[in-house]
Structure 1
Amino acid sequence: MFKESFSPRFSDTDALGHINNTLVPIWFEAARKPIFELFIPDLDPKKWNLILANIDVSFKAQMYFGHEMEVRTCIQHVGNSSFKVYQELWQQNQCCASGAATMVHYDYSQQKSATIPQPIKEALSAHLYVENN
C-alpha cells in the first residue's frame, strides 16, 4: 500500500465549508504517482504508456479544511494489459471517500493495449489490496 498525507488548502473548500468533491479524483490521480513510476520511472511524458479507462468515486463522509488528509493506494486487480487501482481518502481516522481507477498499459504507436511486462506485474502485485488495511 502506498500512503500520502497532505493538508487541504483553504481554496479547496466550497460554499458550504466542506472540501469540494471535485478535488477527490485529482488527489487520487496525484497519489497514483508511485504506480506511474513503475511504468515510467522518470515520468517523462514522451515515454508515457498508460491510459485511464475508467474512474469511480464514492463519497462517505464530509471533509474539512484544517485537518490532515491521507490517500491510501492499493492495487485491486492485475490483468494482462490492465490493472485496477483502489484508493481511499482518510481524514480524522475516518474513510471519507473511496474510488477505483482502471488503467491500461498502452502502446500509442500501435493505438492499442499492450501486455504489462512481468516485472511490473510483480511490482503491482506487491501492493494488492487487502481488506481492513
Structure 2
Amino acid sequence: YYSYSVWSGNIPLKFSFGNWDIAKQDNPHLAKSLGKKAFVLAKQLESQNFNVAMMGDRGVGKTSLALAMLGHLMSHGRSGMFVSTAELLRMVNDKYEDTSLRSKLINITRSMIEVDVLVLDDFGTEGGMTGNIKPVHKDLQ
C-alpha cells in the first residue's frame, strides 16, 4: 500500500520520533508533551484501531508527528499509506486531461480503503479556506 502513497511534488517524506527536535518549536515544553502523546498513540495503535485527528497552525509539526506514527506502526507490522490531499485533488482534477491518472486513482482509492494506517495530510485545506471554515473539497468528500 505504501507504494500508492501520494506525495506533494512526488517526493516521499520520512520522519521518526528520534527526529522530533523540541528546540525547533516555539514552545519546547508543549512540543515535548505532544511528541510523547503521539508516541503513546502510536503504541496503542499497534494493537487497537481508532482514528487520530491532529489540528493546529501551519508549521507546528502535525505532518512530522503523523509520519513518525506511520513509520512506527509500519515497523510493527501494520500496512501504511500517506496521502497529500492537495496532491490527490490535483490528480482528481487532472484525470480528464491525463487518462493515465484514472487507473492510478482507482488503485489509490482501493489502497486507502484497505490499508491499516492511512495518513491524510492537510485534509480539509485542499478545499480552500474561508475564515475558520475549512471545507473538504466536494470531489474528496
User: Structure 2 length normalisation: TM-score?
Assistant: 0.28
Q: Specify which structure has the higher proportion of strand.
A: 1
User: Structure 1 length normalisation: TM-score?
Assistant: 0.29
Q: Specify which structure has the higher proportion of helix.
A: 2
